[in-house]
Amino acid sequence: MSEIELYSYFASSCTFRLRIMLNYKGLEYDMKYVNLKAKENFDENFSKVNSMNQVPSIRLDGITMSQSMVIAEYLEETRQTEPPMLPKDPKTRAIVREIAEIINSGTQPNQNLGLINRIEELGGADAKMAWVEKALFRGLKAAEVLVEKYGGKYAVGDDLTIADAFLYPQLYSAAVRFGLDVEKNCPILHRLYKTLSEHPAVIAASPGQQKDFPGA
């Protein structure tokens, strides 16, 4: 058994962020699968792991913690790589966090399953898709401005950072889950998406590579 356990669902973009980080850092981790479609996140036992009834959660160093941004920072503080995923220069570090937060608090919550299902109930499938497209591109276009200014090979400079770990799953959701035209709306992020999709840490973290992927 590994010293790290990750509560994961193949299609969860928030968990995908941490799978990328854990892979990039070369850390061994065991998976605990939580099927969101089957609402296993609302099981009593899982409520004790994550009181928001969401994934991801992680068990390591004798504690269980939730919220992917918090976990990402903890992993970086306790298992730093060289070069680090949070750059040492405070200004560059702030840009990385800004991009991650645009995704974490400004974009992903607007595509969460419960919310978009409710929009569909109230307004139908077209209303749901119109909402998703508007909300996702509002966040992604904001991130694109920063990547245009500060990006290099990756989102910020030439090294993979937490910004990439947060951006890639959101771009994947936009393109694959919702079938949106990322290339047309965010050409710079689309190039980054293509670059990242060839990184081994990203490939191994992808939904289709997960053991709980339907048909895997």
Ligand X SMILES: N[C@@H](CCC(=O)N[C@@H](CS)C(=O)NCC(=O)O)C(=O)O
Q: Any contact of residue 55 with ligand X (CB under 6 A)?
A: yes
Residue number with CB closer to ligand X (95 or 103): 103
Residues 60-99 that bind ligand X (CB under 6 A): 67-69
CA distance 39 to 114: 11
- Under the binding rule (CB under 6 A), the answer on residue 8 touching ligand X is no
How many residues at the interface with ligand X, by CB under 6 A? 16
Are 118 and 82 in contact, with CB atoms under 8 Å apart?
no
Among 54, 161, 206, 210, binds ligand X (CB under 6 A): 54
Cβ neighbors of 158 (< 8 A, separation 6 or more) are 152
> Tokens 């998703």 sit at which residue?
132
**Reduced 3-state DSSP string for 31-93:** EEECCCCCCHHHCHHHHHHCCCCCCCEEEECCEEEECHHHHHHHHHHHCCCCCCCCCCCHHHH
Which element (helix H / strand E) includes 8? strand 5-8
Farthest CA pair distance, the chain: 49
Task: In angstroms, give the least distance from the CB of 114 to ligand X.
Answer: 5
Instruction: Give me the least distance between CB of 82 and ligand X, in Å please.
Output: 26
Q: Does 41 bind ligand X (CB under 6 A)?
A: yes
Residue 13 in contact with ligand X, rule: CB under 6 A? yes
Question: Interface with ligand X includes 111 (CB under 6 A)?
Answer: no
Tally Cβ neighbours within 10 Å of residue 81: 14
Distance of closest approach, residue 96 Cβ to ligand X, in angstroms: 16
Among 90, 114, 200, 215, binds ligand X (CB under 6 A): 114
Which residue in 6, 22, 36, 205 binds ligand X (CB under 6 A)?
36
Question: What is the contact surface with ligand X in residues (CB under 6 A)?
Answer: 12-14, 36, 41, 53-56, 67-69, 104, 112-114
